[in-house]
Amino acid sequence: MTRVLAYLASVVLISASMGQAAPKLAESAALHAGIAGLQQDASVMSAQGFAYDAVAQIAELYGVKPAPRPKALAEVTLPSGDAAKVAAGDTQIALTQLSISEGTNNQLRVQQAQHSSKAGIFISAGVINLQDLATTAQEQGIAGIAMADGVVTLSRPLVIWQGATLLIHPGDVLQMQAAEGAFLLNFGKLDLRGATLRSDVAADAPETRYRPFVLTSGSGQVYAEANQFQALGMAELGPFAGFVISTQGLFASTTPSVLRGNRFEDIGGVALIGTKAAQVTQNAFLASRGGALILAQVGAGAALGNTIYNTKAGAGLRVTARSKDTLIAGNLVLGGQGNGVQVDGGSFGITLRGNAVLDNAQSGLAAKTASCLSVKDNVIAANGAVGLRLTKTGYVQVAGNALVGNAGSAIAVGAQLTKARMELNSNLMAQNQIGLTGAALHLVTLRDNDLSAQLPRIFDGEFAQYQAAFLTSGRTDHAAVFQISSVAAEDADFASICSQE
């Protein structure tokens, strides 16, 4: 934890000034120096519990409640079954099957990478491990997979059909060759534990180059724990982005997929699409070339205790496409080039609790067209734009957060939906460019917030007309209740409103 403490020391300095209780951000140069030092040993960020430990220490500095650690997940039984059936086959058959659930968008680059070859390797039934797969293929004269010095090299597509299982376990290394269009497509079960899956593409290769990927689709299921994934996927190419679980459609899997304790580095993106009750816990997403973690059409899922660092494009963590009842807690999201966390696409019932979102180039947390959104006990600091941006949102509760030192407003509210309601309770807003700014407000209630160190500007936009009343009431320091409304006040609170949706 030495580097964690050194990093935190560079992010936040506690002011010794008399009467100034709010923490004070370090100079930008010191902040970035701390991040650079952390980057030199990125493996630290992959350690189990890193995000929880770091977020807890950050939360303590600001007097914010850290997210509770969840109970440990139960051990997952090792898959077993009959011996697998392995054969050579036509890759186009698999891509045609894929188009049923994913459509044909973005398939052109994948097909072009095959260089008119139709050769693929198919596991059609049974259970097999990676090394036995390589041996079996060799015995059957199936080209495209070979093992040497403990590394299995895949130079053509590998497909796991429904009813089949591939085990890739401790010490296994699977390297997929880009030149021949290799990829791993799973319609069955993929069990990954303590292995390395990578491509042979250099990190500085142009994004237009084909990169192998791992995709689970249809009724497929994934269990992935303590693996390393490197140099996979093509950013912004949907299901081919890197490591994707897309279990939507008529025959979608009913068994939750699990990602825990993995390290994803130089990945186009990790996405869960249409999954139910999926768990993404204590992973590290480092230097992602696209959005690091995307949850789309997810129901009752959870992203807990993940570290998301240095995302090069897109949001670090995004919840979208009408996802519902999903918990985002205990995550450390820092140093990205886009928004730190983004919730959009009509998502409903999303809870953001006990996260630390720091030093992202755009907004710390941005929500658009989302409702029944709970933003609680987060530290949102030193981001390059607004701390918390809310656009076209419905019911939103913002409680117990520290929004400090953001280059824009602490909170910016725009175009609230009809009958929208926002509650701002017990938040610390300090040393942002502006405290609250807004346009097209509907109903906003402030209760017990601390803006005593929010200088020089407290309110702007449509909030500005209320600043005199707010100040003369002496409510900048732990206000009781202050309501800003374009309509008659409503009595219902967040919990009762959202429980009825």
7-37: b (≥16 Cβ within 10 Å) or e: bbebbbeeeeeeeeebbbbbeeeebeebbee
pTM of the full structure? 0.92
pLDDT value of residue 27 = 43
Burial class (CB in 10 A: 0-12, 13-18, 19+), 378: buried
CA-to-CA distance for 448 and 459, rounded, in angstroms? 16
**What is the helix, strand, coil percentage profile of the chain, to 5?**
15, 35, 45
Contact 73, 48 (CB under 8 A): no
Query: DSSP letter string over 414-448?
Result: ESPPTT-EEEEES-EEESSSEEEEEES--EEEEES
Burial class (CB in 10 A: 0-12, 13-18, 19+), 93: middle
pLDDT value of residue 33 = 54
Tokens of 230: 């490197």
Helices (H) and strands (E) in the chain, counts: 8, 43
pLDDT value of residue 332 = 94
Interaxial angle between packed helices 50-62 and 2-11, expressed in degrees from 0 to 180 and rounded to the nearest 10 = 40
CA-to-CA distance for 220 and 255, rounded, in angstroms? 9
Contact 342, 317 (CB under 8 A): yes
CA-to-CA distance for 269 and 241, rounded, in angstroms? 5
CA-to-CA distance for 59 and 360, rounded, in angstroms? 18
Structure-model confidence comparison of residues 456 and 16, the more confident one: 456
pLDDT value of residue 13 = 40
Residue with tokens 């497929």: 220
42-79: b (≥16 Cβ within 10 Å) or e: bebbbbeebbbbbbbbbbebbebebbebbeeeeeeeee
Question: Mind listing the pLDDT tens digit for each residue in 250-266?
Answer: 555 667 889 999 999 99
Asked whether the predicted pLDDT for residue 469 surpasses 60, the reply is yes
Q: Kindly indicate the confidence band of residue 19, based on its pLDDT and cuts at 50, 70 and 90.
A: very low
Question: Which residues, at least 6 apart from 89, have a Cβ–Cβ distance to it below 8 Å?
Answer: 120, 121, 122, 159
Ordered by where they begin, the domains of the chain are 2-47 (no CATH), 80-284 (2.160.20.10)
Structure-model confidence comparison of residues 165 and 57, the more confident one: 165
pLDDT value of residue 300 = 93
In the 8-state DSSP scheme, what is residue 243?
A: E
pLDDT value of residue 5 = 46
Question: Mind listing the pLDDT tens digit for each residue in 265-303?
Answer: 999 999 999 999 989 999 999 999 999 999 999 999 999
Tokens of 9: 């020391």
Element holding 467 (H helix, E strand): helix 467-472
